[in-house]
Amino acid sequence: MALTEDEKKILSEVIGELSEFNEAVSGSSDPVAQLLRLHALTEYYLEQLIETQFRNGTIITSDNRFGYHHKLQVVNALGLLDPGLVGVLRKLTQLRNNFAHHRAPVVTKKDIRQAAKPLDAKFKSALRRTSEEPKEILALARVIHEQFSHLLMVCRVAGPALSYEILNT
């Protein structure tokens, strides 16, 4: 089945985002910086989902008073996210917030494994496929990206009114 021009454009955008994602997360050897970048990228993905699902989604995403928690709640209410991914994103946010209250924050493998727990099977699979260090952060990043990239591609092609159940049938 041949792709339409719109689908080719969307695929190209997703591939570009993958490169940007890999560069942002792998671009530092500091685990705290990697985790902060990963969190920022998940916020970007949430914004993209909001913008694809609402006719005027930029009203939400451009409002500085509308923070990460609210964006996650909106996307979760739309039924687009795997419940495990929601759990991972909440735990990732807790880690990020903990960093904000320490002068010299440290990320441990245990922190990452705990954050990944809601998607444990996918995380363990990604961990086995990851050879670079720090493996845990890169495996978590891979799982998050895989979840969002598939979802964004489907949302961009199909447009509004999708649900998690429809996406996974």
For the chain, report the end-to-end CA distance as a whole number of angstroms. Answer: 20
Q: What is the mean pLDDT of the chain?
A: 84
pLDDT greater than 80 at residue 17: no
pLDDT number for residue 164: 46
Q: What is the mean pLDDT of residues 16-23?
A: 70
Residue 70 tokens, joined: 């609210």
pLDDT number for residue 130: 87
pLDDT greater than 80 at residue 96: yes
The full set of domain ranges for the chain reads 5-167
pLDDT band at 163 (very low <50, low <70, confident <90, very high): very low
Instruction: Please enumerate in sequence order all residues whose Cβ is within 8 A of that of 13, keeping only pairs 6 or more positions apart, or say none.
Output: 156
Q: What is the mean pLDDT of residues 53-60?
A: 88
Instruction: Please enumerate in sequence order all residues whose Cβ is within 8 A of that of 36, keeping only pairs 6 or more positions apart, or say none.
Output: 96, 99
pLDDT number for residue 167: 52
Q: What is the mean pLDDT of residues 136-164?
A: 76
* Amino acid identity at 67: G
User: Which residue from 56, 152, 153, 37 is spatially nearest to 96, judged by alpha carbons?
Assistant: 37
User: Which residue from 69, 66, 92 is spatially nearest to 147, judged by alpha carbons?
Assistant: 92
Do the beta carbons of residue 76 and residue 151 sit within 8 Å? no
**What is the CATH T-level fold of the domain 5-167, as seen in this structure?**
Four Helix Bundle (Hemerythrin (Met), subunit A) (1.20.120)
pLDDT number for residue 59: 92
Do the beta carbons of residue 73 and residue 66 sit within 8 Å? no
Give 60 or 6, the one with higher predicted confidence: 60
